[in-house]
Structure 1
């Protein structure tokens, strides 16, 4: 199998449509990490992603009579553009089934390259099932985004270019994983010629199908996946890619949304280019690896694999990047309610830069302050907690609390004596037209909403925090309502930030 892949990668026909992308030195990140970090700039392809390599290599190998009947694909966007471009170049037609959560920039790009777009389902898997149905009905050829040897070989040409472009020692290559086609192709080539180089996959914590599969020793299908990094939002990895990752991938690192947003900012500061979340995963993984291993002076390489970013998501990215860079901490601080207390707190802060400061009287004895502060690192945040405590101010570090980051920082100061029997829950659902009204329509009209906050972040999940006044006798009905939902929810009634600022 290995020799087959080596030959297939060396003979892959990708350069009719793809270019050999540069391997660029990331000066700012290298200085911060005390290691040499190189970026493989696949975001500079004509479709702003590596995906056209594998898609075209598969299509160009089809018999002419099969190719003439047309092709079909399912994709969250980047593979779709590669298929559309390849079909146009080869003179055939392409139907692309995309999830309704796909960023509009990717939908428009597919249409601009001549692809016929059908929006169906909330995830890649939904879109894939429908594409397979149309494949049979219309007699088309399905171009798989990752689980096909020719697609894998096309992506593997990136590994071939890396070893040709940089012949000095490399400690590790970091690669984002969705279905596994990209890392499989790179690993199959690199491990054959340079087995000492570590191949490290990077997945989001809420879409880690390959990580869970490798741990289980078999393919694991996730019940749901987070959609922030929509390009890797895959519930189940491929059979072939799973086999190759078992053989050649050294480890997988998981990163969260904040880490990914910070990596997007890092690459922008070095290159003035804006990667999409999936495109920045490898950089986030490299940073996490350096922090964990405490290595210095090594050469690390990260594949910047895509840049199809919706502009309206940048606000969210900028907001969360500071947290991901460990440059902002969020605290809830209790101070005595009395003259001079606020001044004493400010003196305790010293010359720290504030990013946020919210204050509202809570009762006659104690006030709670919600404050964001610029920090150098997470250790610095811990020192700040100790400083506040030494000044006599009980402090709660909320930096890693998702409810705080998504909602409460926009809502603090909302105590209400009227909110009797309040139940506080967080919900996520795929962002699509009518989703919010569908959510409301499923509730009982006998319950009163006492608190509500909703955030829409482009193609990410819609996020809601809901306070509902549910009488004790109705708790069984409330739980029955929750059990009917098709999307995840979290009980936040015991969240300490909620108790301080809203309960």
Structure 2
């Protein structure tokens, strides 16, 4: 039995009116751990569990760690999550709430990931937060669900951090005969590793993550994510932190669901960058969620 839920697919009147397009939302913010991450991470955890692994180790800026911790609790397997110093206290508390250990190491996800890899032994499975084919196949199920619901769309908008969601949506489109459907890949300024890769013609490492959207904080996007930009229509768009935060608060008013700025980047495309949707009639937005920001934190960011 999968560890993720089939999430609602909603037509958004507020986002449709804001953008002048028909906007549909895949509401993965409603997954039990708070984000889409459990789709792929659930699949990536079930596989080693069936093969006798006794412990999970992962690295995360927040939401992937929460998802691994949730999966470990459901599978009765202990979990250790290594997070960078930028990880919010709320994210660490949510990981611990699921019964996992939290270790803080390094200034960015890369440093935390290097430390996590040192903690692996023969009985341990390492669960990567975004760069694993098992993850991508799990994330692709969201497109399966949309297609099964009979909703047609001519573009998909999603947020990009390390690129796992992009890889999963691409796989989901491919296996449903939708290779031609463009993907609009949104990032925040200061965490735009995909945009940097597209500009450079190869994945490059950002010197630092300066965006408040720390869940998008992979300084180098996965090779698979960059490959997708070379092989299918992908429009890379970078939004400001302010636009992402404003989108989160508008979305809370419009749909009564709190998401974090990592998700707000995708929502901001419809709210404030609708010109990028001008060639499309019906747009699917992945409301990927994120559990690591509170309303008070969003309001503080907006006021700063």
Which TM-score bucket, shorter chain as reference?
Answer: over 0.9
2:195 is aligned to 211
Residue by residue over 1:283-308, the C-alpha shift from the partner in whole angstroms, topping out at 9 and shown as x without a partner, is 11234542346458x11111111131
1:370 is aligned to none
Residue by residue over 1:252-279, the C-alpha shift from the partner in whole angstroms, topping out at 9 and shown as x without a partner, is 1110012112211221121111111112
Is the 8 Å Cα contact of residues 279 and 304 (structure 1) preserved in structure 2? yes
Is the 8 Å Cα contact of residues 259 and 284 (structure 1) preserved in structure 2? yes
1:248 is aligned to 232
Matches within 5 A, 1:81-480: 81-135=66-120, 140-168=124-152, 170-192=153-175, 193-292=177-276, 294=278, 298-308=281-291, 309-319=293-303
Partner residue of 1:34 out of 1, 15, 20: 20
Relative distance call for 1:191 and 1:101 in structure 2 (3 A) is: same
Secondary structure class of the residue paired with 2:128: coil
Is the 8 Å Cα contact of residues 269 and 276 (structure 2) preserved in structure 1? no
Is the 8 Å Cα contact of residues 191 and 248 (structure 1) preserved in structure 2? no
Deviation at 1:232, TM superposition (A): 0.6
* TM-score, normalised via structure 1 length: 0.57
Is the radius of gyration larger for structure 1 or structure 2? 1
* TM-score, normalised via structure 2 length: 0.92
Residue by residue over 1:211-256, the C-alpha shift from the partner in whole angstroms, topping out at 9 and shown as x without a partner, is 1112322211111112411111110112233323432352111100
* Alpha-carbon distance in structure 1 between the residues aligned to 2:296 and 2:252: 16
Alignment size in residue pairs: 302
* Alpha-carbon distance in structure 1 between the residues aligned to 2:221 and 2:284: 24
Gaps of 5+ in 1: 1-14, 320-405, 407-503
Residue by residue over 1:126-151, the C-alpha shift from the partner in whole angstroms, topping out at 9 and shown as x without a partner, is 21111112225x85221101111001
Partner residue of 1:62 out of 25, 29, 48: 48
Partner residue of 2:60 out of 75, 78, 89: 75
Is the 8 Å Cα contact of residues 37 and 299 (structure 1) preserved in structure 2? yes
1:443 is aligned to none
* Alpha-carbon distance in structure 2 between the residues aligned to 1:312 and 1:265: 11
Is the 8 Å Cα contact of residues 183 and 245 (structure 1) preserved in structure 2? no
Is the 8 Å Cα contact of residues 201 and 249 (structure 1) preserved in structure 2? no
Give the number of the structure with larger relative contact order, counting CA–CA contacts within 8 Å between residues 6 or more apart. Answer: 2
Secondary structure class of the residue paired with 2:187: strand
Deviation at 1:44, TM superposition (A): 0.4
* Alpha-carbon distance in structure 1 between the residues aligned to 2:264 and 2:3: 23
Deviation at 1:177, TM superposition (A): 0.4
Deviation at 1:313, TM superposition (A): 1.0
Is the 8 Å Cα contact of residues 180 and 232 (structure 2) preserved in structure 1? no
Residue by residue over 1:88-117, the C-alpha shift from the partner in whole angstroms, topping out at 9 and shown as x without a partner, is 222211100111221222211111111111
Greater percentage in strand: 1
Secondary structure class of the residue paired with 2:208: coil
Deviation at 1:84, TM superposition (A): 0.9
* Alpha-carbon distance in structure 1 between the residues aligned to 2:301 and 2:149: 32
* Alpha-carbon distance in structure 1 between the residues aligned to 2:49 and 2:257: 39
Is the 8 Å Cα contact of residues 184 and 245 (structure 1) preserved in structure 2? no
